Structure 1
Amino acid sequence: MRALCWHGKGDVRVDTVADPEIKHPRDVIIKITACAICGSDLHLLDGYQPTMEAGDILGHENMGEVVEVGSEITNLKKGDRVVVPFTISCGSCWFCKQGLFSCCDTTNPNAEIAIKAMGHSPAGLFGFSHMLGGYCGGQAEYLRVPMADVGPIKIPDNITDEQALFLSDIFPTGYMAAENAQIRDGDTVAIWGCGPVGQFAIRSAIMMGAGRVIAIDEVPERLAMAEAGGAETINFAEVDVYDELMARTDNRGPDSGIDCVGCEASAHGSADSMLDKAKATVMLATDRVHVLREAIMSVRKAGTISIPGVYVGMGDKLPIGAMMNKGLTLKMGQTHVQAYTRPLLDKIIAGKIDPSFVITHPASLEDAPEMYKNFRDKENGVIKVVLRPGLEAASKRPGSSSSMAPASGMPEHAG
């Protein structure tokens, strides 16, 4: 089969690799009909996530059609359309029974590596390093799905791939981020980062009763999409974010903040961000934490900071004194996707949200290396890329150019 493989920092390629096989009675194999490039995939592309190996298949936002079923699987059958959570969870350990699926105790076969780095091991994840299980990802024609009696959710025929796909990660991630922000009716919520997770956090915060959402980014297309979702915006390239937030909140600060950026924050030459970048370059730190510092300083006293943005190791100079003296609450973590897929699917079915709004660039799997670079470099208006295995590569389509333009929609579901 064809699959998008990591070969080193800045180097991803579509290779021909072996097809997946059933390895355990609780496995299924799906034929991928749609998958997506996630912002956290860029941490792999940029070399920030440790324990990647050449040839690793990327991709953790996946859906498709079941084509093979393990002997212990009774909830799925061949031909079912399913979305697959990016967290691989057993459903029966202590953490899974508490609904804390991303903390599953049993699905990381390389738990000892994670324990050395983190003290404990989280769940295994699709396509996200050997520290987190070494599982093949789904930016490929086929995917083996372990623990398939716990993770995948069946999608009704009247819901398109474009509407359903983001149940795999970014819709639940944005929703859980807003939930972790402990929003009360009328609250002001500041959201750093208007990428795909930030866009879902904006809409989720509004669904939860936020009175104002203030979204922070510098990319015009992202800011425009945030405004379309009901947010006020701040362009951090034009103003000081802290000063602007104070001016908009009578110097009290927002009630909560959501860091949707993670370990690769930039800040246009601010002293702390330049120091972060220098330290990361020489491996004195792994994470650039400018946004988290800014959120800590900006959120009001006794406020809450939610962190869905991915951090991978060590950040420097976090203002813990400000956190303690201001009485802040920090809530964070990989998303417990399985706890959210059914209620969020119900919202889609009820017409309360159409997640396909975030898609700007439909593409072929063969276009993936180019689209990774466009997404990383914020070129050609890219906000969210959805890949279709089997779709002809852009370079081979009549009238196409090597640089893809934003598209207004996706092809209809072909399954």
Structure 2
Amino acid sequence: MRAMVYRGPYRVRVEEKDIPPIEHPNDAIVRVTMAAICGSDLHLYHGMMPDTRVGMTFGHEFIGVVEQVGSSVQNLKVGDRVMVPFNIYCGSCFFCARGLYSNCHNVNPNATAVGGIYGYSHTCGGYDGGQSEYVRVPFADVGPSLIPDWMDDEDALLCTDALSTGYFGAQLADIVEGDVVVVLGAGPVGLYAAKSAWFMGAGRVIVIDHLDYRLEKARTFAHAETYNFTEYDDIVVHLKKITDYIGADRVIDAVGAEADGNFLQHVTSTKLKLQGGSPIALNWAIDGVRKGGTISVMGAYGPLFSAVKFGDAMNKGLTLRMNQAPVKRQWPRLFEHIRNGYLKPNDIVTHRIPLEHIAEGYHIFSAKLDGCIKPIILPNAS
């Protein structure tokens, strides 16, 4: 099969790899019909994620057709069209039993925190991802779901991570009717979080970013107020000013560690891979939310040191809520919103790229060229 393969920082290419085999009776092999590049893939692309090994295939957002099933798989059959959440999880451990699918204890030998994730380095289990023609799907009776007949393929694809994560971020914020909600970051997850905040009763939604084309999308797609932080001496002071000098009720951090690394990495070329990254957005959230407010974090942070203003958060009486999204838990409600026409996930898709051109796709997305917000990868495009 053809698959995207990592060859080192900023170096990806399409190569021939063996089609993955069934390794366990609960496995399925899925022929990928559509995948996506996620903002968190850029941490891998730039070499900022520990234990990202040469030869790995990225891609944790994908849909496809079941090509083969293991002997104990009961819920899927060959030919089924399926959407696959980015979480790999067993469905039966202590954490899965509590709906914490992203914290499954049985799918990642490094599972001090996160469970398994497709195509996301060996710190997340070492599973190859879906930016390829075929992918092995473990626990096939647990994760994948049939794509509803009425759902567009691109909408189904976006439910496998970006939309579900943005919606989860709004859920974590504990929005109460009339709240002022600030979203930091106008990438796909931030856009979906801003849109979802309205569903949960927000009275005002504000989006902060530094790219004008993404802020324009926040206005048209998420109907948000927008501010470009490069135009202000101190964006936190501005946030206070436009919220009666009290602060926002809820702040959603959809940025996380910058995907292009931090100052120390660039200056020293350190090999420590400080994926903890710069916590600028999180500190803005701590400073910009009101006392007693809530901060929701779904931006990607790593396990290492970050200089977070924890004392300020404590003294302000803040609630901080965070996790990787348990994707499948969000689907029933999201399906309702999509079917009723309140939400069209693929409105944010800007680029559709054949798998053969995925290196160019990564470059466009990474360098923020051509107004790129969300690129989709087509394995079988002619």
Report deviation, 1:274. 5.1
SS of the residue aligned with 1:77? Answer: coil
The match for 2:214 is 222
Equivalents in 1 of 2:184, 2:259: separation in Å?
10
Contact kept in structure 2, 1:91 and 1:101, CA below 8 Å: yes
1:236 paired with 2:229, answer yes
Matched, 1:342 2:335: no
Hey, what does 1:192 align to over in structure 2? Answer: 184
Map 1:32-181 → 2, pairs under 5 A: 32-108=32-108, 110-111=109-110, 114=111, 120-181=112-173
Report the AA paired with residue 186 of structure 2: C
| Cα distance in 1 between the residues matched to 2:25 and 2:273 | 44
Within the candidate set 297, 300, 325, 2:287 is matched to 297
Q: 1:281 to 1:245 in 2, by over 3 A?
A: farther
Q: Does 1:245 align with 2:239?
A: yes
Deviation at 1:346, TM superposition (A): 2.9
- Range moving further from structure 2, 273-282 or 180-189: 273-282
Structure 1 residue 373: Cα displacement: 1.1
Counterpart CA distance in 2 for 1:191 and 1:364 is 32
Q: 1:190 to 1:352 in 2, by over 3 A?
A: same
Letter matched to residue 142 of structure 2? V
Q: Map 1:279-358 onto structure 2 (within 5 A).
A: 281=270, 283=272, 285-286=274-275, 287-358=277-348
Computed over aligned residues only, the root mean square deviation of the Cα atoms, in angstroms, reads 1.8
Which amino acid in 2 is paired with 1:303?
G
SS across alignment from 2:239: helix
Among candidates 179, 182, 189, match of residue 174 of structure 2: 182
Deviation at 1:352, TM superposition (A): 2.1
Q: Quick check: 1:164–1:345 contact (8 Å CA) kept in 2?
A: no
Number of aligned residue pairs: 379
What is the aligned partner in structure 2 of residue 254 from structure 1? Answer: 248
Report deviation, 1:169: 0.4
CA distance in 2, matches of 1:134, 1:94: 22
Contact residue 100 and residue 336 of structure 1 kept, 8 A:
yes
- Cα distance between partner residues in 2 of 1:281 and 1:252: 40
SS of corresponding position for 2:335: helix
- Give me the whole-angstrom Cα distance separating, in 2, the residues matched to 1:57 and 1:75: 27
Secondary structure of 1:143's counterpart equals strand
Q: Deviations over 1:243-301 (max 9, x none)?
A: 210111000000111111111179xxxxxx75786578574843111111111111110
Show structure 1 runs of 5+ residues with no match. 115-119, 267-272, 393-415
Amino acid at match of 1:37: I
> Secondary structure of the equivalent of 2:174?
coil
What TM-score, normalized to structure 2?
0.95
Cα deviation code 1:109-148 (max 9, x no counterpart): x23xx5xxxxx24211100011111001000001110011
The answer on whether the counterparts of 1:242 and 1:298 sit within 8 Å (CA) in structure 2 is: yes
Q: Distance in 2 between matches of 1:275 and 1:206?
A: 38
SS at match of 1:191: strand
Secondary structure of the corresponding residue to residue 202 of structure 1: helix
Kept in 2, the 8 Å contact 1:265–1:289? The answer is no
Taking structure 1 as reference, are residues 284 and 386 closer, same or farther at Cα in structure 2, changes over 3 Å only?
A: closer
Aligned equivalent of 2:202, options 200, 205, 210: 210
**Contact kept in structure 2, 1:276 and 1:288, CA below 8 Å:** no
2: CA distance between counterparts of 1:7 and 1:275? Answer: 23
Identical counterparts, % of pairs: 46
1:84-119 CA distances to partner (integer Å, 9 max, x unpaired)? 0000011111111111100111011x23xx5xxxxx
Which string of whole-angstrom CA distances, capped at 9 and with x for unpartnered residues, describes residues 312-346 of structure 1?
Answer: 13243211111110011111111111211233223
Mark the runs of 5 or more structure 2 residues left unpaired by the alignment: none
CA distance in 1 between partners of 2:379 and 2:265 (Å) = 38
Q: 1:382 aligns with which of 346, 368, 372?
A: 372
* Structure 1 residues 390-411: Cα deviation after superposition (integer angstroms, max 9, x where no partner): 113xxxxxxxxxxxxxxxxxxx
TM-score norm. by structure 1 comes to: 0.88
CA contact (8 A) 2:48 2:273 kept: no
Deviation by residue 1:199-219 (Cα, 9 ceiling, x = unmatched): 110111111111111101111
User: Aligned with 2:248: secondary structure?
Assistant: coil
CA contact (8 A) 1:265 1:291 kept: no
Rounded Cα–Cα distance in structure 2 between residues aligned with 1:96 and 1:387: 30
